[in-house]
Structures are given as C-alpha cells and as structure tokens.
Amino acid sequence: MSLKGKGLEVTVLGGGGEVGRLSLLVRRIGERDAILIDAGINFDEEDKPILANTYPPKYIKAIFLTHAHLDHTGTAPLYYVSGCPKTYASKPTLEMSKYILEDFLKLNGYYTPYEHLEVKKMLDEAKMISFKEEVTISELDITVKPFNAGHIPGSMMYLINHNGLNVLVTGDINTIETRLMPAADVESIPRNVDALFIEATYGSSDHPPRRLSEERLIAIIEEVVLDRGGTVLIPAFSIARGQEVMMILAERDLGVDVAVDGMIRQITEVFLSNPSYMNNYKLLEKAYREFLIVRGWQDRNKVWKKPGVIIASAGMLKGGPSLYYLKKLGGNPRNAIVLVSFQAPGSPGRRLLEEGLMPDTNEPLKARLEWIDLSSHADRKGLLKFIEKVKPTEVYIVHSDIDTARDFAKQVEMLGVEKVVVTNNMETYKLSY
C-alpha cells in the first residue's frame, strides 16, 4: 500500500549537526506542497553567510518563524525572489526582523542572493499571530499552533497537527524564568506529542546558577568602576541579551553611569511596545528611562572617557559600537571587557578569549577580560526536564553540533523515549500514523 499522504515527512534543510541555520521542511509523505519552520543562516570562518538549503518557492505555502535571530530568519527572504508565501510570526518577531535583516544586508549584501526588496516583500506579506492562535494550512490539511518558547520576547515553538499526528518544533527554548522572559510554556503542550524536533545547543552541559552569574557581573562592575575608576564594556547581542543586562543593572542600582549603544536601543523600543511578551516590563522601562541611550557620535565620544558601564552591540565584536569601544578601552588595564554572549568559532570575540588579541589591530588586550554565562537557551538539565514533561514518542535533535547532539541523544534514551535521532542536513524523516 502506498504511504503517499499517510503522515508527514520532515526534511532538515539546516540545523542538522550544527548550531544555527535551522530550517525544517514539513510536508505530507510523498507530496510537494510544504511549509517551512524557520529558514536561517550561519557564518563561515571568514564571516561570510552560509544560507540554509532551499526548496522550490512555488511549493512553499507558508513560513513559520520561531523568532527573529538571523540563524532562524536569514534565508527566509530568498523565498520571495520568485515566490510569495505567507510568513507567520509573533508581532515582536516581525518588528525585530526588519531591523535585523536590513542590518544583515548592510554588512553582507555582497554575498547574499536577495536584496532589501525581498525583505520588504516578506514583511508586507507576513501575518502576526499570537500564542495559542491556531493557523490552518488547507493545502497540507494541517494546523499549526504556537506556544511561548521562553527564549526571547515573541519566540514561539510550533505544534503541527495532521489527522491527529502531533509534531512539536521547539525552535530555541529556555526553561528557566529570567527578568526579561517567562520560561517556555511546557504546561500548555498536549501530552500526546508523536515527534519532537528539539534544539540542543547546550545538550551536553549545564549553565551555572543564574544568580551566581549575575552576582559575578555585579562584583566585576563594583571592583572596576567604583574601586578603580575604570570602565566596563559589555558587548551584547541586540536582541534580549543587551536588555537582560540592562535590567540586571537597573534592579541593582549601583550608582554608576550606564550607557547603551547600538541596535540594542531599537530592539528595546520594540520590546517596550510589546509589554505582554515580557516578564518585567517596568524594570526594562526603568532602565531605558534612567540610562544614557547613545544616539550619535557626540555621545559615543564622551561615554568611554569616564568611569561607568557601556552595554553595546555587537555581542561577538563583529562590528558596531562595541568594536569601537574595545579599541578605546582595551589598552588600559584599569578597564574590563565582559563578554556575556555566545562567541562563535572564528568570531572576533572567540579570538579575543582564546588569544587575547584585539580585532583588526592584533594588539594584546591589556584590559581585564571576563566571560559570563547569561544564556537564553535551556541547558542539558532543562532540555531533559522539558522532554520528560512533553513525553514524546520520538525525539529528533537539531540545532546542535554533532558531538553534543550524540551525547544528548544518549541522555534522552535513558528517559525511555522509543526513538531518538541525531539529524543530518538534507535527510528526510517520515512520521506516519
């Protein structure tokens, strides 16, 4: 008997055996029409973008974005060069994507096979959806229902249903509450999930207790700024990490000057215009009101010359004002550089950590260098607890380097899951009922 149409098949276009570049193609078995969950990018060792594998745009009926980070959205506009699928995402995700994708093209347009027109077309055709708002894709006879993923404001995990077959795709998730975000809404997920596609960025390690990481950050600032009269530079991702640091400092109210620079400002304004997607709106509002929001070179040239804290993008020191401040502050041992974001292999931030050399100049860093774990991803323990609550029949591991994924798979098997798969790019997994 033919299996055509009997169940779903998921092709991993990106995110198999790698962190980032996530893109999952979902269709009925043996048929062409499909939807995408995310369409992201990665960067090679020369910092050039690597797009996810693609599928003929004429067969893509919808794109569902889990959140606005480039490793989940950077390939999506390519489908608008010759196609026009509907894109579904939360309001914050769509508003942030405009900033993130436009900035990406400014820096990488030469290497990217789409232009600003495709970004605009994608956003013009997009539909904002809210948590638990079910979307029907009639061509595939499926429904897609989003739930809060806890990763950043507006981040969603998607439950796909086809004739009673339930497939859950997490995107990036966080299972702990932070000042910025509530934890992933695992309680609302039905307990009859047949297949779970789960990220495992940190599937082989556990984060230190959040309280200890925050206390260490505060201790560094007190020592460097209050005791030594220096300046602390905190390079941070524009989305979520910068705002999380702002909220930590606003809550502690250390009596030091704090400046915020780069795209963190625009993203903070997006968050403040979407209070229902945040955990502590008033605390972020307090930080935005009380801290100096750098709005140009006149401010930028002043803030590093006096003791205080500077929170600036980009988090991996690939560019932006954080790189400017590093050049001004890195040669003085009285100052400190505190990295709070993931530092990808080959990035300037990773090189600074591993070799102690400042980007571009290759001069030795003389300022104090620290790295503090403030991750917005669930760790091994959190991911395993998530799986225990969802109780899926099958687990497919994505968004994880291959060694971490294999290690995590062994942990998942110990939970008694019937089938655990470490996915590979361009492989198709059939989910029949």
Angle at 352 between CA 350 and CA 357, to 5 degrees: 145
Q: What is the pLDDT of residue 361?
A: 84
Residue 3 within any structural domain of the chain: no
Task: Indicate the residue among 337, 352, 371 that finishes a domain.
Answer: 371
- Give yes or no for a cis peptide into 68 (omega within 30° of 0): no
Q: What is the pLDDT of residue 4?
A: 53
Q: What is the pLDDT of residue 407?
A: 98
* Residues 33, 64 within the same domain: yes
Type of residue numbered 231? T
> 395 forms bridges with which residues in the sheet?
196, 420
Residue 94 within any structural domain of the chain: yes
Residue 1 within any structural domain of the chain: no
* Residues 310, 391 within the same domain: no
* Residues 101, 78 within the same domain: yes
* Residues 322, 381 within the same domain: no
Q: How many domains does the chain have?
A: 2
**Spans in the chain with pLDDT lower than 70:** 1-5, 433
Residue 283 within any structural domain of the chain: yes
* Residues 366, 412 within the same domain: no
* Residues 41, 152 within the same domain: yes
**CATH number reported for the structural domain that contains residue 219 in this entry:** 3.40.50.10890
Q: What is the pLDDT of residue 319?
A: 85
* Residues 180, 48 within the same domain: yes
* Residues 29, 74 within the same domain: yes
- Is this prediction's pTM over 0.75? yes
**CATH number reported for the structural domain that contains residue 13 in this entry:** 3.60.15.10
Q: DSSP H helical segments within 37-196, as ranges?
A: 70-73, 91-108, 116-124
Q: CA 217, CA 315: separation in Å to the nearest integer?
A: 16
pLDDT digits (tens, 9 = 90+) for 45-86: 888 999 999 999 999 999 999 999 999 999 999 999 999 999
The edge-to-edge listing of strands for the beta sheet with 23-28 is: 127-128, 86-89, 60-64, 34-37, 23-28, 8-14, 428-431
* Domain range enclosing 312: 210-371
Residue 106 within any structural domain of the chain: yes
* Residues 331, 402 within the same domain: no
Q: What is the pLDDT of residue 3?
A: 45
Given a contact cutoff of 8 angstroms between Cβ atoms, the answer to whether 146 and 277 are in contact is no
Helix (H, G, I), strand (E, B) or coil at 342: coil
* Residues 217, 339 within the same domain: yes
* Residues 265, 381 within the same domain: no
* Residues 245, 221 within the same domain: yes
Residue 389 within any structural domain of the chain: yes
- Give yes or no for a cis peptide into 314 (omega within 30° of 0): yes
Residue 109 within any structural domain of the chain: yes
Residue 67 within any structural domain of the chain: yes
pLDDT digits (tens, 9 = 90+) for 125-153: 999 999 999 999 999 999 999 999 999 99
CA nearest 382: which of 153, 176, 159?
Answer: 176
